[in-house]
Amino acid sequence: MKTKLKPVKLSAKRAVIASAQPVVPLNDRRLTFGSRWDYAPAPEESKNYIIPPRHELFINGKFVAPHSGKHFDTINPATEDKITEIALGDAQDVDKAVKAARRAYEKVWSKMPGRERGKYLYRIARIIQEKMRELAVLESMDGGKPIKETRDVDLPIVAAHFFYHAGWADKLQYAFPGRTPRPLGVVGQIIPWNFPLLMAAWKIAPALACGNTVVIKPSKTTSLTLVRLAQIFQEAELPEGVVNVITGVGETGTAIVKHPDVNKIAFTGSTEIGKQLAEMIVGTDKCITLELGGKAANIVFDDAPIDQAIEGIVAGIYFNMGHVCCAGSRLLVQENIFPTVVKKLRDRIQTLRIGNPLDKNTDIGAINNKPQLEKIRELVQSGVDEGAEVVQTSCTLPARGYWYPPTFLTGVTASHRVAQEEIFGPVLSVMTFRTPEEAVERANNTPYGLSAGVWTDKGSKIFKIVNKLRAGVVWANTYNKFDPTSPFGGYKESGFGREGGIQGLAAYCRLD
C-alpha cells in the first residue's frame, strides 16, 4: 500500500528552530571551558578539628618533649600560615626511642603470638576508619593535598594496609613454604612528604605484623598526621615502645640510620638521600630497603582508546600534584597520534581545578614546600632553555602559598633534562616514538625503573611490551593503582625491596 503524503506546513517560528547546525571553520573548532555554569566554593569543614599548638615526640608510648627543647613550625603550604609546632628530635631522642623499641621487642612484641599482634593491627585499622575524615582534613592542611585525594585515596588505602597486614600476623608461618619467618628486631623507618600517612602505613603495618618494633621519622614538612597516628596507637593500647615517632630534620634521620642497635632501615625518598643511607650502613649488619625516585614512561600506542588514555595520562602525572615517585612523567606517544593526544590533553588540563585543598572540587592542591616549587620552576625553565614548548592551564593561581599549574612540555627529546631528571611536580614531558621496539628502548633508557604504563587495545601487544619493560610496576590501560596485596618497588636507581603483598612481608622477616 502506498501512502499519500501531505506537504508539511510550518510556522515561521518552527522553521527557525529547525535550521541546521552551523559548520564551525577548522581553526575555530575549540572547546570553551569557561564560566557559563561555575561551581560555588564547597569547603570541607575543618574548624571542628582542634590542632594543639605543640606536638611532642612519641617515645615508649608517651608524648615527651625533645632533648633539645626545640620545636619547629609546620605550615600550611596553601596559605603559608603556621599550623602548629613540631618537636625537633636529635640523636639522644633517637637513642631513647631505639632503647624503648628494643625493650618492647625483647619483652613483649616478638614474644606475642601472631594472632594477638593481629588484634592490635585490626584495632588500629578500625580507629583509622572512624577518624578518616579528620585525618584526611589534617593531611590536606599539612601537605597541600586536595581533600578529594586524601579522603578517597590516601586514607582508605592507609586503613586497607593495616587490615591486610593484620590478616597476615597469625598466618606468617604459612607465607613462605619450607621457611620459618622470624622478626628482624628494631626497624628504623624514614618516610617522605608526598604521602605522609600512607607511607607510614606501608612501613609500620608490615613491620608490626612480622613482630618487629619501629622507630619512624616523618619528613620535616609533614609530621602532623604521623603524630596523630601515634595518638591512635595510644588509643588502641598498643604496648609501649612498639612504635616510636621521632619528628625532626635530616640529621634526626641520620641518627636513626647510624644507631648501632637498629637492625633494618626502610627508606622512601629521593635517590640522592637513598644512596647516602646505603653508604652509611656499609660494614654493618643492618638490612636496608630503599624506595626511591622514578621517571616512568607512560606509553600510548596508536591503537589505544585515546580518550581513556588521556585520563590515564592525567591520573599518571597530575595526581597529588605530581609528587608521586611512580608518576608517569615521560609520555611516549606514537608519532601518528601525537597531534590528537596533545590537542585532547590541552583541553583536558583546562578542566583541572586548582585552589584551596580543602575545597571538595579541587583537583590540584598546593606544592608541598618552597624548595620543591623552586626545583619545579628551575627544571621547567631548563626545558624551555633547551627548546621545549610549555603548555599550561589558563587558571589563576592563589596569591599566597606554593602553587604550580598543570603543565606539559612538547618538543622534548631524550637529551633534555626534563626527560631525564625527576621533576616531582605537575609537569609532563611529551615525546614520540615510531615502533614498539623504539618505545621499549626509550622507556628503559633511564637510570630509574620504578613504574611504567602501556596503553593499547591489543592484548597481545600488552603482554609483549610489559615483559620487556624494566620497571617494578607496570600498569596496562590504567595508571597509579595501589593495593596492599600488590608488591611495589623498583629496579636500578629506583631502589630495591618490595612493599605490599607477600614480597613486602619478606622484607621484614629473616627467613630461616
Partner 1 sequence: MAEERAAAFTKRSIKTSAKLAGLKMVVSMMDLTTLEGKDTPGKVAYLCRKALQPAEAKYNVPPCGAVCVYPNMVKYARKFLGDNSPVHVASVATGFPSGQFPLPTRLNEVRRAVTDGADEIDMVINRCAFLAGDHAKMFDEIAAIKEACGPAHLKVILETGELVTYDNVRLASEIAMQAGADFIKTSTGKVSPAATMPVTLVMLEAIRDHFFATGVRIGMKPAGGIRNSKQALHYLVMVKETLGDDWLTPDLFRFGASTLLNDVLMQIARRVDGNYQGPDYFSLP
Run of H or E including 374: helix 370-385
The single residue of 291, 421, 422, 499 carrying the catalytic annotation is: 291
Write the CB contacts of 2 (distance below 8 Å, at least 6 apart in sequence). none
Edge-to-edge strand list for the sheet holding 287-291: 62-64, 57-59, 243-245, 213-217, 186-190, 264-268, 287-291, 495-496
**Amino acid identity, position 510:** R
- Residue number, 446 or 456, with CB nearest to partner 1: 456
Which of positions 220-279 make contact with partner 1 (CB under 8 A)?
A: none
Strand 81-87, strand 473-476: pairing: unpaired
- Pick the stretch among 38-46, 214-222, 323-331, 491-499 that binds partner 1 (CB under 8 A): 38-46
Note whether 460 binds partner 1 by CB under 8 A. Answer: no
- Rule CB under 8 A: is residue 336 a binding residue for partner 1? no
502 binds partner 1 (CB under 8 A): no
Minimal distance, residue 15 CB to partner 1, in Å: 6
| Site pattern 353..392 for partner 1 (x: CB under 8 A) | -------xx-------------------------------
- Kindly tell me which of 312 and 484 has the beta carbon lying closer to partner 1: 312
**Is 325 known to be catalytic?**
yes
* Other CB atoms within 10 A of residue 311 CB: 14
Least spacing, CB of residue 146 vs partner 1, in Å? 11
| Residues facing 298 on adjacent strands | 331, 453
Asked whether position 25 contacts partner 1 by CB under 8 A, the answer is yes
Candidates 38, 45, 285, 512: give the one binding partner 1 (CB under 8 A): 38
Which is it for the CA torsion 491, 496, 500, 504, positive or negative? Answer: positive
Per-residue contact flags (x/-) with partner 1 for residues 1 to 20, judged by CB under 8 A: --x-xx-xxxx-xxx-xx--
Count other C-beta atoms under 10 Å from residue 460's C-beta.
Answer: 8
**Residues of span 139-158 touching partner 1 by CB under 8 A:** 148, 152
Residue 509: active-site member? no
Site for partner 1 (CB under 8 A): which residue of 40, 50, 282, 399? 40
Query: Is position 311 an interface residue for partner 1 (rule: CB under 8 A)?
Result: yes
**From 325, 422, 493, 499, the catalytic residue:** 325
CA distance 217 to 189: 6
Query: Treating both helix axes as pointing N-terminal to C-terminal, what angle do 114-130 and 224-235 enclose, rounded to 10 degrees?
Result: 120
Sheet holding 297-300, edge to edge: 389-392, 407-410, 427-433, 330-334, 297-300, 451-455, 473-476
Helices within 189-249 (DSSP H only): 196-209, 224-235
Closer by beta carbon to partner 1, 44 or else 493: 44
| Nearest-approach distance from CB 467 to partner 1, in angstroms | 23
Please tell me the distance from the alpha carbon of residue 230 to that of residue 216, in angstroms, as a whole number: 11
The position carrying cell 654493618 is 284
Question: Using the rule CB under 8 A, is 394 a contact of partner 1?
Answer: no
Tell me if 458 sits within 8 A of 436, measured CB to CB. Answer: no
Least Å distance between CB 24 and partner 1? Answer: 4
CB 453 within 8 A of CB 480: no
Burial class (CB in 10 A: 0-12, 13-18, 19+), 375: middle
Q: Are 264 and 187 in contact (CB under 8 A)?
A: yes
Stretch that binds partner 1, among 26-34, 155-163, 194-202, 383-391 (CB under 8 A): 26-34
45 belongs to the binding site for partner 1 (CB under 8 A): no
Decide: residue 36, CB within 10 A, 0-12 exposed, 13-18 middle, 19+ buried: exposed
CA distances (Å), origin 423, targets 129, 327, 418, 450, 490: 33, 10, 7, 15, 18
478 contacts partner 1 (rule: CB under 8 A):
yes
| 21 contributes a contact to partner 1 by CB under 8 A | yes
Contact with partner 1 (CB under 8 A) among 48, 307, 460, 467 = 307
Candidate ranges 37-45, 63-71, 91-99, 414-422; the one touching partner 1 (CB under 8 A): 37-45
Task: Count interface residues toward partner 1 (CB under 8 A).
Answer: 45
Q: Least separation, in Å, of the C-beta of 34 and partner 1?
A: 5
Contacting partner 1 (CB under 8 A), which of 92, 351, 435, 485?
A: 351
Q: Which of 274, 293, 312, 322 binds partner 1 (CB under 8 A)?
A: 312
Contact residues for partner 1 (CB under 8 A)?
3, 5-6, 8-11, 13-15, 17-18, 21, 23-26, 28-29, 31-42, 148, 152, 305, 307-308, 311-312, 343, 347, 351, 360-361, 477-478
Catalytic residues: 291, 325
